[in-house]
Amino acid sequence: MTIPCRKVLVTGAAGFIGFHLAQRLLARGDAVVGIDNLNDYYEVSLKEARLAQLTPDAHFRFIKLDLADREAMAALFAREQFDQVVNLAAQAGVRYSLKNPHAYVDSNMVGFVNVLEGCRYNGVKHLVFASSSSVYGANESMPFSVHDNVDHPLSLYAASKKAGELMAHTYAHLYGLPTTGLRFFTVYGPWYRPDMALFLFTKAMLAGAPIDVFNHGQMQRDFTYIDDIVEGVVRVLDHTATPNREWDGAQPDSGSSRAPYRIYNIGNSKPVALMEFIEALEEALGIKAIKNMLPMQPGDVPATYADVTDLVRDVGYQPATPVREGIVNFVQWYKEYYQV
C-alpha cells in the first residue's frame, strides 16, 4: 500500500464537483477526508451513491458534518491537521436563493468562516474555495475577467459567493493564509445535480414532457465539463497562492493582492447558445424536445463567458471539452444510473 503524499479536506464531498475531485485526488495518491451534511436540497440517494464510489478506497474517509457547526469544525481541523483544503460545500442554486435566503447565509458565509478559522489555527498550506461566475452579476463586459469589478450581484447566491471571496482575502491579509478562489462556469457532466438544466431537460424529454426554456431561448452559457473543472482545481491546488508584488493600491486589481490571494475563472471560454445546447441534447437522446418558452427568471443573467488568461498563464491549463462530447457522456451516465 502506497503512503499518501498529503492529506486533503474536501468539503461537499458528496456533491457533484466534490465527488469528482475526491476521485481524482485519491487516484493520484492523496489521502482525502470528505465532509458533507447530506441535506435534502436534492435527492440524498444520489449523494449516497456518489459516496459509495469513494468509500472502498482505503485513503478516503467520510464524516457527516455541517460547515455551520462551529465546535465540530474546530475539532475536525485540530484532530486531522490537513495539508490542504478545498471548500466546495455550499448552498447552490440561484433560484432557490429567492425562496430560502437563510440557507445561503448559514452555509456559504457562516460555514465558510468556520473553514477559514480551521485553516488559520492549524497550519493549512493552501485553501482553495469555490466561487461562481454568478458574482459577475450586472457586469456586461465580455468575456468576464477576474480583473473586472464584481460589486453588483443579482441574487443572494451570488452575493454570498462574493462575500466568501472578501472573507478569504481578509484571512490571507491578516494571517498569511494562502487562499485561491475559483469562479466556476456552468459545470456539467456525469453524476450531475438534478436541479440543473441539462438534468431537468433530459428527465423531461425521456418522459415526453415539455422543457422550460427561459428568456425565450436567448441565453448563452460557458458550459464547462466536469473533468476540465477537476483538472483546473488540482492544478490550482498545487500552485499555492502568492502575493502579487506589483499590486498597486492606487489601481487595485481584483484578481490578486499584496496578500497570498488569487482568483481564477475556470470555464470553457466558448459560450454556447441555449438553443444549440438543446439541439445537442436532442441528438444525444434521439428525441425532439417540446419547448415551453418562458421569460427570464429573476436573478438570472443572459450570458456567461470566461476569460481564463490568468489560469493559462499561471498553471498552464485551459478547459477544452466540446459541449457535444460532454452531453453524450452525461446522457450515457444518466441512462445507466436510472436504467432508462
Q: Which residues are catalytic?
A: 157
Instruction: Dig out the grid coordinates for 71 from the structure.
Output: 465546535
Strand partners, 63: 35
Closest residue by Cα to residue 109 from 157, 177, 40: 157
Long-range contacts of 135-139 (CB under 8 A, 24+ apart): 135/161, 135/162, 135/165, 135/183, 136/183, 136/301, 136/304, 137/301
By residue count, the chain amounts to: 340
For residue 203, give the amino acid letter: K
Sequential DSSP letters for 97-159: HHH-HHHHIIIIIIHHHHHHHHHHHTT-SEEEEEEEGGGGTT---SSB-TTS-----SSHHHH
Closest residue by Cα to residue 237 from 11, 21, 64, 19: 21
Angle between helices 197-206 and 323-338 (to 10 degrees): 60
Sequential DSSP letters for 290-319: -EEE-PPPTT--SB--B--HHHHHHH----
Q: CA–CA distance from 235 to each of 51, 149, 232, 319 (Å)?
A: 23, 25, 5, 12
What is the DSSP secondary structure assignment for residue 63, as one 8-state letter?
E
Helix/strand/coil for 37? coil
Phi/psi-derived region of residue 93, left when phi > 0, alpha when psi is between -120 and 50, beta in every other case? left
Cis before 143 (ω within 30): yes
Q: How far is CA 123 from the centre of its chain?
A: 24
